Amino acid sequence: MADARIYLTDLREQILREVTGRGLDAAEGGELFEVEGTLPGRAFTASRPQQVVSGERGRWWVPVLDGTERLGVLRADLSEGMGVGHWRRWLPWWACW
């Protein structure tokens, strides 16, 4: 997988903010997603991976957990030339649903 990014939620669990490592809050210049009504938000609230497929490329949104506590999501794109079927063999069974 390529271009992996981590998004952490705020304390009220309304916003997912990309961790960039820049700025006082380590999120300077990063993307924001609302939890409600977005695919990253669905991965976060359901605690289940979500997949988007566009042609031969795909993107996974995977929940980041600490035990049962939800922290945010990991976004990762499939590497160039790797089809979705290739990665399904290597992901845990729950990531393929």
> Residues 20, 23, 26, 32: is their CA dihedral positive or negative?
negative
Q: What's the token pair of residue 48?
A: 């289940």
pTM, to two decimals = 0.77
pLDDT band for 23, please (50, 70, 90 cuts). confident
pLDDT score of 74 more than 80: yes
What ranges in the chain are assigned the alpha helix state H?
39-46, 84-88
SS3 50: strand
CA angle at residue 24 from 16 to 62, to 5 degrees?
A: 25
